[in-house]
């Protein structure tokens, strides 16, 4: 069979190659995110391990669980609910703490690590811009890690609920009353709201600063990230005998008024009053977003010109 004159093997191969320009920005971002998950296993291993620890600790308490629940069911109102929710709150707090630690350590070393192991040479040879790379890395603490941690928290608490319900049913106690007090879906939504508002949006400048330091520092990125704010706080105290900067950093970590709860309660408490409108309309939040954007823009510029360590 005759073939056209221009149907050479080289022409056929070239027709199968996808030009870099044909790859959309969303696809580049998607594959950059997959790269981060591939290179940074603590992103998913640490929350899973924390969930496993919470379940293991809860299983150890099941030895005397029926006797304890008989005493709890004799209580009334808020005391009964607090006693039942205590292990679930502890599991959620463990997952929140794990999320914060992983997010902070990830941000402070991710851009420095690729220069330290010289993998930046390979990644820069690909048709992926520095902006896409930094956005993908910022997506880990801003989106991927909090959502995954909250999902792990929900699965952990659901397994705890199933096991405890089976023990209660085997002991002849009321499972329905126990389920009413737990309110797992409501607690999970409250936990997600707390994490995304207080520990993600409200703390955005912290993650932006850590990514900037990670892109700039040649070594000891953690010290470079901590020492400047510490020095500013100490100088302010010595010169003016005030602590406004320390209070400002404290509000970033704790979420200010949005992270304030009644004594003895947790963000997942059913009586928690949410104020999303007040939170989103606060000028300080949008100033923090602008500062974060400036930090990330500087990180993009630094990555563009930084050489391997």
Residue-wise pLDDT for 167-206, tens only, equals 888 888 878 878 877 888 888 888 999 899 989 998 999 9
Residue-wise pLDDT for 207-265, tens only, equals 999 999 999 988 888 899 999 889 998 998 888 888 888 888 888 877 665 555 555 55
Instruction: Report pLDDT for 299.
Output: 94
To the nearest 10°, report the CA torsion of 6, 8, 12, 15.
-40
DSSP E strands in the chain: the ranges are none
Confidence of residue 19 (pLDDT cuts 50, 70, 90): very low
Record the pTM.
0.83
CA 90 from centre of chain: 18
Residue-wise pLDDT for 39-62, tens only, equals 888 899 999 999 999 999 999 888
- Cα angle: 305, vertex 113, 222; to 5 degrees: 100
CA nearest to 167, candidates 64, 249, 261: 64
How does DSSP classify residue 283?
H
Radius of gyration of the chain (CA): 25
pLDDT above 50: residue 1: no
Provide the CB-side half-sphere exposure for 279 (13 A, CA).
20
How does DSSP classify residue 143?
I
Task: Give the span between the Cα atoms of 43 and 195, in whole angstroms.
Answer: 16
């Amino acid at each position: 069979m005759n073939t056209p004159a221009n149907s050479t093997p080289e022409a056929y191969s070239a027709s199968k190659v996808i030009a870099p320009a044909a790859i959309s920005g969303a696809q580049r971002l998607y594959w950059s995110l997959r790269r981060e998950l591939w290179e940074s296993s603590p992103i998913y291993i640490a929350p899973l391990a924390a969930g496993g620890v919470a379940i293991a600790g809860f299983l150890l308490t099941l030895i005397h669980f029926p006797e304890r629940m008989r005493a709890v069911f004799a209580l009334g109102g808020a005391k009964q609910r607090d006693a039942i929710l205590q292990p679930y709150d502890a599991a959620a707090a463990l997952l929140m703490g794990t999320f914060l630690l992983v997010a902070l350590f990830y941000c402070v070393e991710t851009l420095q690590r690729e220069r330290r192991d010289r993998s930046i040479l390979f990644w820069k040879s690909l048709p992926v811009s520095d902006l896409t790379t930094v956005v993908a890395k910022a997506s880990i603490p801003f989106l991927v890690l909090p959502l995954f941690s909250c999902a792990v928290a929900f699965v952990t608490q659901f397994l705890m609920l199933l096991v405890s319900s089976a023990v209660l049913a085997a002991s002849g106690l009321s499972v329905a009353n126990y389920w009413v007090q737990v309110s797992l879906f409501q607690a999970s939504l409250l936990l997600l709201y707390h994490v995304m508002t207080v520990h993600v949006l409200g703390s955005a400048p912290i993650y932006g600063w850590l990514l900037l330091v990670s892109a700039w520092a040649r070594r000891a990125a953690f010290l470079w990230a901590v020492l400047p704010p510490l020095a500013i706080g100490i100088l302010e105290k010595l010169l003016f005998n005030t602590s406004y900067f320390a209070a400002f950093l404290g509000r970033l970590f704790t979420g200010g008024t949005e992270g304030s709860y009644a004594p003895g309660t947790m963000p997942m408490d059913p009586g928690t009053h949410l104020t999303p409108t007040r939170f989103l309309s606060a000028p300080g939040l949008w100033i923090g977003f602008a500062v974060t954007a400036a930090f990330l823009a500087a990180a993009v510029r630094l990555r563009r010109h930084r050489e391997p360590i």
